[in-house]
Structure 1
Amino acid sequence: LSSVARLFLPFLLHPLTYSVLSLFHSSLQTKTGSSTTHPPLLYSTHEILTRTMSSSLIHRSTRDIAGNDETEHTALTSSPSLSEKTARSASSGVDPMSKVFTPGGLPERDPEREDRGEFQSTIQYILTCICYAVGLGNIWRFPSLAYENGGGAFLIPYICCAALFGLPILFMELVIGQFTQSGSSIAFRHYFPLLQGLGWASGVMSLSIAFFYNVIVAWTMLYMYHTIFKDGVSKWSSCRNVWNTDCCESVLENDRCAKEGPFNRYYNRTCVNMTDKTAFGFNLNFTYSIENITYTPTVPAEEFFVHNILGARMSFSDWGSFNWPIGICLLLAWILATLGLWKGVKMLGRISLITATTPYIIVAILFVRAVTLPGADVGIKFYLLQPDFSRILKIETWRAALTQACFSLSIGIGGMLTLASYNKRSHPCYRDALIICGADSFMSIFGGIAVFSMLGYMSKQLNVPIDEVVQSGVNLAFVAYPEAIARMTWPALWSILFFLMLFFLGLSTMFGYLEGFLCCILDQFPLLRPKRTLVMICISSVGCCISSIFCFSAGIHWFQVLNDFIGAFALCVVIIGEIILINFAYGPCRYFRDVQAMFGRPRNWFTKIVGPSGWYVRAAQFITAPILALVVLYASFDRSRLSFGKGTRLYVYPDWVEAIGWVIGSFPVLFIPLFAIINVVQFKRKGQALCELISLQPEHPAIRYELKDPRKKGPEIKSDVPSVRKSTRSQKSLRSE
């Protein structure tokens, strides 16, 4: 009977089944005219199976406890008996009859956090995390890093760094958010109030990145507008526009001039007869002289982006005029970001069904088209098929792989921790971490093939080596790729698809950045939670006003500075702070006790090695991650000089601009000592001992639900064994009944 109950448990125990059987009983009495109070046979069966199934589960839960050895029992009681769960929940103010418990006896949710919201399904949560992790860097940063560091050989250090640093830190943040059921501003306070500023530093850093990240979304919207309504493809492939300079060189114009003379080139809006030496030494980045005029030729797509879209000027202090097209698109981007978070994570989860899947569909379409272009094999060979394994032995390669793994997974910024806080405590976040890492790496590698196939096609069209067309960052997305698209058939279609993909990648990542900071505010000030919409509007309004600096002629220079400094030094400090907090202050024993309280103990040899509390996670999180975090910190100081442009139009930023970048980039770190001082003052006002600043707070789940401290041995274990035996005997009697 118990086996039958397990098979039909979802049906038999569902409240709807109880209601249907009750209605059936009432209708049967009405038809037969019977006044008996006894339920029909099905109703009795429902009660019997429910009681039998419950007693079986109770017995199996208690048997699991009694069967564990003494060493494991020291760390955690993996499946507490029903009486232990009831007592633990009652002591913490949780109604034991209305809560579902984790394998370790913790309630799935805290009652005071029910109004925070939750995702409607697991798939929505995973897709939202993928949206947050997979961003523009997967398309425009990873391919160039792979090319510069040995091609396919770069995948070896990248995968190693992702497995030994990125995945463990990501899992640690998911555990912290899910276990404490709080955002970053409160989660770290539950551990040690002295380090509460770590959460606020990550939240402020998340908002700071959103300020300049949203302007990329605005650029993609403007490119799509030009493609659809203004025939933009023809404009960024021609040198005959009003914004073009004398240095503009177009392949189409050069072909026309070559028909007039073998050594003719298009220069200064006309065909110029060049010498043999100059003609044969010509390439895209080569600086040469004509009539004592030294210049570096530029492609039309670069001048379209710099002069028409940005209206940039070659000086940091020359603000110029306000760029209204970018300003309007930026306003729309902030409105879309606000609407996406309007109804909380429920709305965000629904949107992620589109924003997470669409980029993968588009990149698959671009991949199929790119690999069929002439010259695509050249790009693929340079990207993957000609690995330089000697680069693996160089420290620069490992440093590049480590920083990419760190930034690509969006760890240390608070967004992942925030999204995990909306889950139930027993949600398998270790599986989610594996899926997120896999999806992120897949987009990087797969998208890189599509990008380099296109660059190989472009190099063949221009008849230059591929290293002359390889670019990274903004130049790859808004110069190199549009230049290649302009030479394809149906360029408008491919342009719309490409910039639509960038739009979804940028907007979906923006949701994570804003949600991370919004959750900081609402968790710190719970009274504002009913006014979530108003708070979100205020944040977006401030963000839109600050982002307006990118709408001026000097906006691209501010973008370069913020993009290079924000999320570099401060991010390393936050990650190292998290490692110190969990690894050394809190301790691995208590941390993995919490993990096992959420997910249970390893059940076989495989999960003992690679499971959530297995040896792989322990070694990676507590040995390799601290060492590699110091390498990332060193990499944040070892940087090249900031510049904009190239050749004769190269603008190197002065020292005072670098100083501004360091000040802005280090600003989030100031919240760590700030909140330490605030908590010291608050503890003194309340008359609390200052030593409590470095101890667990009563709100911490381990204290609130009285989890056993694995560092204490002896009487605590002995006193617990009789209670287990007594509980086992009582459950056996209930089972026999």
Structure 2
Amino acid sequence: MTTTGDETQRRGAFTSRKVFILAAIGSAVGLGNIWRFPYVAYENGGGAFLIPYLIALLTAGLPFLLLDYAIGHRHRGSAPLSFARLHRRTEMLGWWQVGICFLIAIYYAAVIAWALRYTIFSVDQSWGEDPEGFLFGDFLQAGDPGVSTEVVLGVLVPLLLVWVAVLVIMSLGVEKGVGRLSLYLIPVLVIAFGALVLRAVTLDGAALGLDALFSPHWASLTEPSVWAAAFGQIFFSLSIGFGIMITYASYVDRRSDMTGSGLVVGFANSGFELLAGIGVFAALGFMAQAQGVAVDEVATQGLGLAFVVFPALISEAPAGALIGVLFFGSLVIAGLTSLVSVIEVVISAVRDKFELSRLTASLAVGGPAAIISLVLFSTTSGVYVLDIVDHFINQYGILLVAVVSMLVVAWALRALPGLAAHLNRFGSLRLDRTWFALIGLLAPLALAYVLVDAFVTDLQTPYEGYPSWMLNVLGWGSAVAVIAFGALATLVPWRQETSLTVADDDADPLTKETGR
């Protein structure tokens, strides 16, 4: 039976609380912070949106983040092992999260590859006079929606480079790979994006964009959809609910202040989102003034913002090449630190289940992930496959497993008092009945509303007008597949060397779980 000390040495650990915080920030700060938050805020009340956003952060985002920390830090395992140690019958929740992370990893790498290529394109503005035509034509070579086997070499090569980098990082381990990547790249990201924002706010017309973003529309606060948008944004941007923070917390020293760390990570993530909003809308204000149109005519989000609007802006702005390198370089760094955290969930689970070495598990997980990613997303249909899988796995994968896990932990297992006691032992923020109420009632109700609203919308209107067979196979099929995988993975027995109980030497004996 593996002891706690032996298990820590085998699995690896972050060298300090600072490294853990940087790694958690690196996971939370991703592409969505840069290209999703600014538009969501703009569309949902502008400056007034900051009120529901802050309330969502305090009542759902941070409480759920601390729930993930508590499960991983107390039970010292990957998502499946931590849930199995919480209760044997909840192991499936962990494997459900592992399946979600595997799917996210294979398409997330493709977006990083695009950003890597566009960093180079920025130097001479290779997209010419028509950035949208260049993106879907010359670069992605996308035809009509469907599934194609025609390979796009311009996507294949950078995507291969991304996966080689990821495999090397993951093979180095928690301390030398994940930890050092975050230790070096997060400061670089802050400096690069900070420089981008400083340049953006000095452009002519920047004030026009900032006024559009921050002018409050107070009437929007009476609309349920605005509050749903706030809870959805906080949830997706913090990387909570699908195994990442459980896994990362399991690598942290027993006596660390996890609640204080959670506050730092949560507010750092929101601070970066606000910085992104300033930078993006300052740039959009310049573009609107240059084209003689209103800001709402150039404002968008996602791929359109990153790979169409920003290239057009770069072509018109003074020192456009510098803006382009800073913007797309920031996307690469933010994407890479997030991708590493996502794939670590899968590698950690495989290591725990089969007692594999770090190198063997990294190759066993990363190899197939890279192959599937290259096969699906280096083709002329890759952008459509990516869009569909991303939409459905976020809505009916991440959101659904989060709601289920909160209800199970709070009501079926009644485990919140024990988890709170564990974090309270060394935490600077004391968790009490207020936390229980937020996790057991408010957060699941809010996220359930977001989930149901999205479900009704997708039933009434086919997502982006894609063919039904694509939505059924790639969309709904992906959401069902990760649930099926979660159930099937629990049928594989744990090795005898793996204990489904863990020594909790630092916890109050009265809070230790019994009766398994």
Please give the TM-score of this superposition, normalised by the length of structure 2: 0.92
* Root mean square deviation, CA, Å: 2.5
What is the rounded CA distance, in whole Å, between the counterparts of 2:512 and 2:7 in structure 1?
Answer: 28
Aligned position for 2:108: 213
Aligned position for 2:121: 226
What is the rounded CA distance, in whole Å, between the counterparts of 1:599 and 1:709 in structure 2?
Answer: 12
The answer to whether the Cα contact below 8 Å between 1:191 and 1:700 also exists between their aligned partners in 2 is no
What is the rounded CA distance, in whole Å, between the counterparts of 1:131 and 1:322 in structure 2?
Answer: 32
The answer to whether the Cα contact below 8 Å between 1:418 and 1:516 also exists between their aligned partners in 2 is yes
Residue type of the alignment partner of 1:137: G
Change over 3 Å in CA distance of 1:698–1:366 after alignment to 2: closer
- 1:292-315 superposed Cα distances (whole Å, 9 cap, x missing partner): xxxxxxxx1111111111011123
Q: Could you list the runs of 5+ residues in structure 1 that have no partner in the other structure?
A: 1-91, 95-108, 239-299, 645-651, 687-696, 713-737
Matches within 5 A, 1:57-76: none
| Structure in which a larger fraction of residues adopt helix | 2
Q: 1:236 aligns with which of 124, 127, 136?
A: 127
Matched, 1:655 2:468: yes
Aligned position for 1:358: 188
The answer to whether the Cα contact below 8 Å between 2:243 and 2:345 also exists between their aligned partners in 1 is yes
User: How far apart are residue 349 of structure 1 and its match?
Assistant: 1.0
What is the rounded CA distance, in whole Å, between the counterparts of 2:343 and 2:97 in structure 1?
Answer: 12
The answer to whether the Cα contact below 8 Å between 2:410 and 2:436 also exists between their aligned partners in 1 is no
Matched, 1:540 2:431: no
Matched, 1:673 2:474: no
Please give the TM-score of this superposition, normalised by the length of structure 1: 0.65
What is the rounded CA distance, in whole Å, between the counterparts of 2:513 and 2:351 in structure 1?
Answer: 35
Which deviates more, 326-335 or 187-196? 187-196
Matched, 1:556 2:383: yes
- 1:528-583 superposed Cα distances (whole Å, 9 cap, x missing partner): 1x3x2132123222112211221111111111111111122122232123212321
Q: 2:299 aligns with which of 453, 465, 470?
A: 470
Matched, 1:312 2:139: no
Of structures 1 and 2, the one scoring higher in RCO (CA 8 A, sep 6+) is: 2
The answer to whether the Cα contact below 8 Å between 1:197 and 1:673 also exists between their aligned partners in 2 is yes
User: How far apart are residue 93 of structure 1 and its match?
Assistant: 9.5
SS of the aligned residue for 1:423 comes to coil
The answer to whether the Cα contact below 8 Å between 2:424 and 2:431 also exists between their aligned partners in 1 is no
Aligned position for 2:478: 664
SS of the aligned residue for 2:220 comes to helix
User: How far apart are residue 593 of structure 1 and its match?
Assistant: 3.7
Q: 2:160 aligns with which of 331, 334, 340?
A: 331
SS of the aligned residue for 2:73 comes to helix
Aligned position for 2:172: 343
Matched, 1:625 2:443: yes
User: How far apart are residue 638 of structure 1 and its match?
Assistant: 3.3
The answer to whether the Cα contact below 8 Å between 1:301 and 1:479 also exists between their aligned partners in 2 is yes
SS of the aligned residue for 2:333 comes to helix
The answer to whether the Cα contact below 8 Å between 1:426 and 1:598 also exists between their aligned partners in 2 is no
The answer to whether the Cα contact below 8 Å between 2:36 and 2:302 also exists between their aligned partners in 1 is yes
Matches within 5 A, 1:117-266: 117-228=12-123, 231=124, 233=125, 235-238=126-129
Q: Could you list the runs of 5+ residues in structure 2 that have no partner in the other structure?
A: none
Q: 2:509 aligns with which of 707, 713, 736?
A: 707
The answer to whether the Cα contact below 8 Å between 1:338 and 1:540 also exists between their aligned partners in 2 is yes
What number of residue pairs does the alignment pair up? Answer: 506
- 1:347-368 superposed Cα distances (whole Å, 9 cap, x missing partner): 2211112221222112211111
Q: 2:325 aligns with which of 496, 504, 521?
A: 496
Residue type of the alignment partner of 2:405: E
Matches within 5 A, 1:431-450: 431-450=260-279
- 1:493-526 superposed Cα distances (whole Å, 9 cap, x missing partner): 2211111111001111010011011001001111
Matched, 1:414 2:216: no
The answer to whether the Cα contact below 8 Å between 1:698 and 1:704 also exists between their aligned partners in 2 is no
User: How far apart are residue 643 of structure 1 and its match?
Assistant: 6.0
Change over 3 Å in CA distance of 1:703–1:339 after alignment to 2: closer
User: How far apart are residue 110 of structure 1 and its match?
Assistant: 4.1
- 1:650-679 superposed Cα distances (whole Å, 9 cap, x missing partner): xx3121122121111221112343356x28
- Between structure 1 and structure 2, the one with the greater Rg is 1
SS of the aligned residue for 2:457 comes to coil
The answer to whether the Cα contact below 8 Å between 2:152 and 2:380 also exists between their aligned partners in 1 is yes
User: How far apart are residue 158 of structure 1 and its match?
Assistant: 1.2
User: How far apart are residue 441 of structure 1 and its match?
Assistant: 0.6
The answer to whether the Cα contact below 8 Å between 1:214 and 1:510 also exists between their aligned partners in 2 is yes
What is the rounded CA distance, in whole Å, between the counterparts of 2:23 and 2:132 in structure 1?
Answer: 34
**Percentage identity across paired residues of the two chains:** 29
